[in-house]
Chains A and B, each alone.
Chain A
Amino acid sequence: DTEVTQTPKHLVMGMTNKKSLKCEQHMGHRAMYWYKQKAKKPPELMFVYSYEKLSINESVPSRFSPECPNSSLLNLHLHALQPEDSALYLCASSQIVGQGSGYTFGSGTRLTVV
């Protein structure tokens, strides 16, 4: 298995809703990442998990809450989002944090906040 699987593929949520994005990989990668990508822009790093521990939080608002239950799973919990949070949310994984191991990306969750 050489894939990163993200669910759901599309999500529409109201500003008062609570939802979660899920990411799964079975490549034995020990680093996992959340990126946010707005239209016509490059991906921007949000969070990094290394060995199931949060290593980097790129000053992301607290309405985004990441969770890494085990080495294969990464969740992003969403609460009280704003319309400007609408974007493609990408999950990625890599063998070792840093060291140029290359990232494998999922196909993303297209989030629309109404």
Chain B
Amino acid sequence: AQSVTQPDIHITVSEGASLELRCNYSYGATPYLFWYVQSPGQGLQLLLKYFSGDTLVQGIKGFEAEFKRSQSSFNLRKPSVHWSDAAEYFCAVQQNTGFQKLVFGTGTRLLVSP
């Protein structure tokens, strides 16, 4: 079965510093890959997605993610974090044949310090 691992439960970053959130997946083939962000008590907003092609994907709010097949990773990055980026970030995968549910990682809570 496919699975998603986000090894960092919490990450604290100073405002203006760079950010990298890790995501590893376990699946036989390259699935579709997503990053979502969730502010407290809110729904999930899609930041970016990878289907195929260029392994560096640009998203909204200045985020980008890089797909590395050899490492089964899809890490999220941002060059300069703003206080408003504090939220829960979920990596998710979906099989790319037929219908398969969207499987979420356990999430990483980002805290931004002044």
Contact = CB atoms under 8 A, between A and B. Distances in A.
Contacts of B45: 105
Interface of A: 4, 6, 40-43, 45, 48, 50, 55-56, 58, 88, 90, 92, 97-100, 102-108, 110
Contacts of A97: 99
Interface footprint category on B: 20 to 34
A56 B46 CA distance: 23
Contact of B104 (A6, A43, A58): A43
Contacts of B31: 100
Nearest to A94: B102
Nearest to B102: A103
Given A42-B105, A42-B106, A98 B42 contact: no
Interface of B: 31-32, 34, 36, 41-46, 49, 51, 90, 94-102, 104-107
A4 B95 CA distance: 24
Secondary structure at the B interface, as helix, strand, loop or mixed, is loop
17 contacts: A42-B104, A43-B90, A43-B104, A48-B99, A98-B94, A98-B95, A98-B97, A98-B98, A98-B99, A99-B96, A99-B99, A102-B34, A103-B46, A105-B36, A105-B43, A105-B44, A105-B46
A47 B97 CA distance: 19
B64 to A, nearest CB: 17
B99 A50 contact: yes
B41 A88 contact: yes
A45 B101 contact: yes
A107 B96 CA distance: 26
